A and B are shown apart, each in its own frame.
Chain A
Amino acid sequence: MQFMLLFSRQGKLRLQKWYVPLSDKEKKKITRELVQTVLARKPKMCSFLEWRDLKIVYKRYASLYFCCAIEDQDNELITLEIIHRYVELLDKYFGSVCELDIIFNFEKAYFILDEFLLGGEVQETSKKNVLKAIEQADLLQEKTENMFHSKSFIGSKKAY
Chain B
Amino acid sequence: MVAPSLKLQDLIEEIRGAKTQAQEREVIQKECAHIRASFREGDPLHRHRQLAKLLYVHMLGYPAHFGQMECLKLIASPRFTDKRVGYLGAMLLLDERQDAHLLITNSIKNDLSQGIQPVQGLALCTLSTMGSAEMCQDLATEVEKLLLQPSPYVRKKAILTAVHIIRKVPELSNIFLPSCAQLLHERHHGVLLGTITLITELCERSPAALRHFRKVVPQLVQKLRTLVTTGYSTEHSISGVSDPFLQVQILRLLRILGRNHEESSEAMNDLLAQVATNTDTSRNAGSAVLFETVLTIMDIPSAAGLRVSSPMPLPLASPTLIRYVALMSLLRLVQSDHNAVQRHRPTVVDCLQETDASLSRRALELSLALVNSSNVRAMTRELQAFLESCPPDLRADCASGILLAAERFAPTKRWHMDTILHVLTTAGTYVRDDAVANLTQLIAGAQELHAYSVRRLYSALAEDISQQPLVQVAAWCIGEYGDLLLEGNCEDIEPLQVEEEEVLALLERVLQSHMSLPATRGYALTALMKLSTRLRGDNNRIRQVVSIYGSCLDVELQQRAVEYNALFRKYDHMRDTLAFHPLRAAILEKMPLVERGGPQVDEEAKESKAAAKLSEAAPVPAEPQASKLLDLLDLLDGPSEDAQHPPPLDPSPGGALVQLLDLPYAPPPPAPIPSLKVFEREGVQLNLSFIRPPGTPALLLITVTVTNSSGGDVTHFICQAAVPKSFQLQLQAPTGDTVPAQGGLPITQLFRILNPNKTPLRLKLRLTYNHFGQPVQEIFEVNNLPVETWQ
Q: Which residue of A lies closest to B233 (CB)?
A: A126
In the bound complex, do residue A133 and residue B80 qualify as a contact, i.e. CB atoms below 8 Å apart? no
Contact partners of A114 in chain B: CB under 8 A: 125
Q: Residue among A42, A118, A136, A140 with the most chain B CB within 10 A?
A: A118
Take A13-B59, A106-B59 as given contacts and tell me if A46 and B292 are in contact as well, using a CB distance cutoff of 8 Å. Answer: no
Main secondary structure of the interface of B (DSSP, over half): helix
In the bound complex, do residue A48 and residue B193 qualify as a contact, i.e. CB atoms below 8 Å apart? no
In the bound complex, do residue B288 and residue A123 qualify as a contact, i.e. CB atoms below 8 Å apart? no
In the bound complex, do residue B288 and residue A107 qualify as a contact, i.e. CB atoms below 8 Å apart? no
In the bound complex, do residue B80 and residue A144 qualify as a contact, i.e. CB atoms below 8 Å apart? yes
Give B156 Cβ to nearest chain A Cβ, in Å.
5
Q: Whole-angstrom distance between the alpha carbons of A111 and B394 in the complex?
A: 43
In the bound complex, do residue A118 and residue B157 qualify as a contact, i.e. CB atoms below 8 Å apart? yes
Contact flags A111-129 to B (C-beta < 8 A → 1, else 0):
1001000110111111111
Give B669 Cβ to nearest chain A Cβ, in Å.
61
Q: Whole-angstrom distance between the alpha carbons of A21 and B96 in the complex?
A: 7
Contact partners of B88 in chain A: CB under 8 A: 107, 110-111
Q: Which residue of A lies closest to B192 (CB)?
A: A125
Give B99 Cβ to nearest chain A Cβ, in Å.
14
* CB of A10 closer than 8 Å to a CB of B: no
Stretch from A61-69, A70-78, A90-98 at the B interface: A70-78
Contact flags B19-58 to A (C-beta < 8 A → 1, else 0):
0000000000000000000000000010001001001100
Contact partners of B244 in chain A: CB under 8 A: 78, 81
Candidates A15, A46, A128, A141; contact of B321 at CB < 8 Å: A46
In the bound complex, do residue B359 and residue A121 qualify as a contact, i.e. CB atoms below 8 Å apart? no
Candidates A28, A73, A128; contact of B61 at CB < 8 Å: A28
Q: Residue among A48, A81, A140 with the most chain B CB within 10 A?
A: A81
In the bound complex, do residue B292 and residue A78 qualify as a contact, i.e. CB atoms below 8 Å apart? yes
In the bound complex, do residue A107 and residue B248 qualify as a contact, i.e. CB atoms below 8 Å apart? no
Contact partners of A124 in chain B: CB under 8 A: 156, 189-190, 193
Give A47 Cβ to nearest chain B Cβ, in Å.
6
Contact flags B229-264 to A (C-beta < 8 A → 1, else 0):
000000110100001111011001000000000000
In the bound complex, do residue B193 and residue A123 qualify as a contact, i.e. CB atoms below 8 Å apart? yes
In the bound complex, do residue A118 and residue B55 qualify as a contact, i.e. CB atoms below 8 Å apart? no
Take A111-B84, A123-B157 as given contacts and tell me if A81 and B285 are in contact as well, using a CB distance cutoff of 8 Å. Answer: yes
Give B6 Cβ to nearest chain A Cβ, in Å.
11
In the bound complex, do residue B118 and residue A140 qualify as a contact, i.e. CB atoms below 8 Å apart? yes
Could you tell me how many residues of chain B have their Cβ less than 8 Å away from some Cβ of chain A? 70
Q: Which residue of A lies closest to B81 (CB)?
A: A141
Candidates A28, A122, A143; contact of B193 at CB < 8 Å: A122
Contact partners of B45 in chain A: CB under 8 A: 148-149
Q: Which residue of B lies closest to A119 (CB)?
A: B128
Give B775 Cβ to nearest chain A Cβ, in Å.
70
| Interfacial residues of chain A within 146-160, with CB under 8 A of chain B in the complex | 148-149, 158-160
Contact flags A38-59 to B (C-beta < 8 A → 1, else 0):
0000101111111000000000
Candidates B8, B59, B96, B287; contact of A160 at CB < 8 Å: B8
In the bound complex, do residue A119 and residue B163 qualify as a contact, i.e. CB atoms below 8 Å apart? yes
Q: Whole-angstrom distance between the alpha carbons of A73 and B249 in the complex?
A: 12
Q: Whole-angstrom distance between the alpha carbons of A22 and B98 in the complex?
A: 11
Q: Whole-angstrom distance between the alpha carbons of A104 and B197 in the complex?
A: 34
Contact partners of B323 in chain A: CB under 8 A: 46
Q: Whole-angstrom distance between the alpha carbons of A46 and B570 in the complex?
A: 69
* CB of B389 closer than 8 Å to a CB of A: no
In the bound complex, do residue A103 and residue B153 qualify as a contact, i.e. CB atoms below 8 Å apart? no
Candidates B8, B55, B324; contact of A46 at CB < 8 Å: B324
Q: Whole-angstrom distance between the alpha carbons of A73 and B296 in the complex?
A: 12
Contact partners of A13 in chain B: CB under 8 A: 59-61
* CB of B356 closer than 8 Å to a CB of A: yes
Take A77-B288, A148-B79 as given contacts and tell me if A118 and B85 are in contact as well, using a CB distance cutoff of 8 Å. Answer: no
* CB of A16 closer than 8 Å to a CB of B: yes
Main secondary structure of the interface of A (DSSP, over half): mixed
Q: Whole-angstrom distance between the alpha carbons of A119 and B158 in the complex?
A: 11
In the bound complex, do residue B84 and residue A137 qualify as a contact, i.e. CB atoms below 8 Å apart? yes
* CB of B715 closer than 8 Å to a CB of A: no
In the bound complex, do residue A80 and residue B321 qualify as a contact, i.e. CB atoms below 8 Å apart? yes
Q: Which residue of A lies closest to B55 (CB)?
A: A107
Contact partners of B359 in chain A: CB under 8 A: 46
Q: Whole-angstrom distance between the alpha carbons of A148 and B81 in the complex?
A: 11
Candidates B55, B235, B288, B320; contact of A75 at CB < 8 Å: B288
| Interfacial residues of chain B within 280-294, with CB under 8 A of chain A in the complex | 284-285, 287-288, 291-292
Contact partners of B194 in chain A: CB under 8 A: 121, 123
A interface residue count range (under 10 / 10 to 19 / 20 to 34 / 35 or more): 35 or more
Give A5 Cβ to nearest chain B Cβ, in Å.
11
Contact partners of A73 in chain B: CB under 8 A: 252
In the bound complex, do residue B189 and residue A126 qualify as a contact, i.e. CB atoms below 8 Å apart? yes
Give A119 Cβ to nearest chain B Cβ, in Å.
4
Q: Which residue of A lies closest to B354 (CB)?
A: A46
Contact partners of B96 in chain A: CB under 8 A: 21
Q: Which residue of B lies closest to A73 (CB)?
A: B252
Take A118-B124, A123-B160 as given contacts and tell me if A141 and B80 are in contact as well, using a CB distance cutoff of 8 Å. Answer: yes
Q: Residue among A23, A78, A145, A158 with the most chain B CB within 10 A?
A: A78
* CB of B358 closer than 8 Å to a CB of A: yes
* CB of B9 closer than 8 Å to a CB of A: yes
Take A123-B194, A141-B84 as given contacts and tell me if A46 and B128 are in contact as well, using a CB distance cutoff of 8 Å. Answer: no
Contact partners of B287 in chain A: CB under 8 A: 77
Give B573 Cβ to nearest chain A Cβ, in Å.
69
Q: Which residue of A lies closest to B287 (CB)?
A: A77
In the bound complex, do residue A160 and residue B163 qualify as a contact, i.e. CB atoms below 8 Å apart? no
In the bound complex, do residue B246 and residue A125 qualify as a contact, i.e. CB atoms below 8 Å apart? yes
Contact partners of A77 in chain B: CB under 8 A: 284, 287-288, 291, 321, 325
Candidates A19, A44, A121; contact of B356 at CB < 8 Å: A44
* CB of B713 closer than 8 Å to a CB of A: no
* CB of B716 closer than 8 Å to a CB of A: no
Contact flags B331-370 to A (C-beta < 8 A → 1, else 0):
0000000000000000000000001111100000000000
In the bound complex, do residue B325 and residue A144 qualify as a contact, i.e. CB atoms below 8 Å apart? no
In the bound complex, do residue A107 and residue B125 qualify as a contact, i.e. CB atoms below 8 Å apart? no
The chain A residues found within 8 Å of chain B, CB to CB, are: 12-19, 21-23, 28, 42, 44-50, 73, 75-78, 80-82, 84-85, 103-104, 106-107, 110-111, 114, 118-119, 121-129, 133, 136-137, 140-141, 143-145, 148-149, 158-160
Given contacts A140-B118, A145-B81, 16 further A-B contacts (CB under 8 A): A48-B358, A50-B358, A75-B252, A81-B238, A106-B59, A107-B52, A107-B55, A121-B163, A121-B197, A122-B249, A123-B160, A126-B189, A144-B79, A144-B81, A160-B7, A160-B49
Supply 8 A–B pairs (Cβ within 8 Å), ascending by A: A13-B60, A13-B61, A16-B59, A80-B284, A81-B288, A84-B284, A107-B84, A137-B118
